[in-house]
Amino acid sequence: MVIKRTALNQSRELPTVGEQPGNIYFEGQSIGQIPYADWSGFEALDQTGKETYISEHFGKDVSGQMWSSAPATVFTQEQIDVMGTRLEAAPSDIPTFGEGAAAEIPTPEIIPAPAYEISPEQQEAMDLYGDKITDWVESGGYGLDPETQAQMIQLQTDTLKAREGEQVRVMKNNMERRGITNSGFLISAENAIHSNTSVAIAGAIADVQIKSALMKMASFEKAMGATAQYLGFLSEQSQLAYAPEFATWQAEQMAKMQVWQGKLDIYKMELNQAYQTQNLTLQAQLQSQLNAEQNAFDQEMLEIQIDATQQAAQAEGIGSIIGTILGIGASLIFGVPLFGF
């Protein structure tokens, strides 16, 4: 007997009366089935015989291992009939997701968010500031310009030269006051003063150049910081410019999710209705079967009661006849009058 389940587009063969195989389990898994005809013989074997049977038929050495056997299931015709009834009671059509009432769910209309706009004044300021930062970074920072350095060096040189002239004048006055007239000694002392002035001028020039280099490095570091800050500002502007598009996309996705959720809710309701319909159909069929069986039982009981009544009546009639015969016999033997005579 084969019942076709149209709802699932499958076919399922119902079991046969009293001919289901038994299962052998090893390490928690089924390793084979023993035919129903051989099951009683398998059950009659001792432990060693069963393990030998399993080894020969299934190729598994279960000696001393954990294995188990499940007895064969024996179905009655009434149980098989009920199984067939339940399969036939399945609904002919399973609802399809998104169709029917769910297809009527409208998708909410999404109005795009307004675009982010920058004022012309802000755009002009951004361009100007960006250009200045670019020049600042490309120049490597700003130190002392050559003109300023030259002026600083000239100022230091003039100061040192003035000090040099004063030192030479004082040296000559001291030598004249002490009466030193040796020209060689005078030239030597004057050149020593000139040498010290040259060294001092060289140190002043180096100081100006080093200060300019340090200032340029510090300026470049500030330029990098300003660039990073400006890039962060541009990133925020980009996010603000993208925010309306993202908000619109997010709203569209939420609308799709709402429609999908609505269709899912309807689909769940349709499945539940189909399940309830199946239960009602099965319940009606089972109730019909129960009523038929009860009616047959009542009819059988009524027939038994009628037959019992008839048998009792017949038994009572026979008893009366026997009693009459016994009474006649007694009157003839003992002289007991009959019928009151």
pLDDT, residue 166, reads 92
pLDDT, residue 335, reads 47
pLDDT, residue 89, reads 53
pLDDT, residue 159, reads 92
Of 82-91, 188-197, 208-217, the least confident: 82-91
Are β-strands 67-70 and 22-26 bridged in parallel, bridged antiparallel, or unpaired?
Answer: antiparallel
> What are the structure tokens assigned to 152, written together?
């600083």
pLDDT at 129 over 80: yes
Of 3-12, 153-162, 228-237, the least confident: 3-12
Q: What angle do CA 238, 239, 245 make, to 5 degrees?
A: 100
pLDDT at 302 over 80: no
Q: What angle do CA 129, 135, 141 make, to 5 degrees?
A: 110
Kindly report, residue by residue over 221-266, the tens digit of the pLDDT: 998 998 999 888 888 888 888 888 888 888 888 888 888 888 888 8
Q: Which DSSP symbol is given to 338?
A: S
pLDDT, residue 170, reads 92
pLDDT at 7 over 50: no
pLDDT, residue 113, reads 85
pTM for this structure?
A: 0.40
Distance, CA of 45 to chain centre: 53
Distance, CA of 193 to chain centre: 88
Of 42-46, 61-65, 98-102, 330-334, the least confident: 330-334
- Cα gap 221→218, rounded to integer Å: 5
Q: Which DSSP symbol is given to 72?
A: P
Interval 1-22 mean pLDDT: 51
Q: Which DSSP symbol is given to 94?
A: P
pLDDT, residue 199, reads 92
262 or 27: whose pLDDT is higher?
262
Residue 58's identity, in one-letter code, is: F
Interval 299-308 mean pLDDT: 68
pLDDT, residue 334, reads 44
Range 32-46 burial, b when 16+ CB lie within 10 A, else e: ebbebeebeebeeee
Instruction: For the chain, give the longest Cα–Cα distance.
Output: 213
Helices 183-334, 146-177: inter-axial angle, 10-degree rounding = 140
> What are the structure tokens assigned to 252, written together?
């569209």
In the chain, where are the structural domains located? 18-74, 124-252
Mean pLDDT of all residues in the chain?
76
pLDDT at 1 over 60: no
Interval 23-27 mean pLDDT: 77
The sign of the dihedral angle between the CA atoms of 146, 147, 149, 154 is positive
Kindly report, residue by residue over 40-56, the tens digit of the pLDDT: 788 888 888 888 888 88
Percent of the chain exceeding pLDDT 90 equals 8
- Cα gap 99→236, rounded to integer Å: 45
Of 236-240, 268-272, 313-317, the least confident: 313-317
pLDDT, residue 162, reads 92
Q: What angle do CA 309, 314, 320 make, to 5 degrees?
A: 125
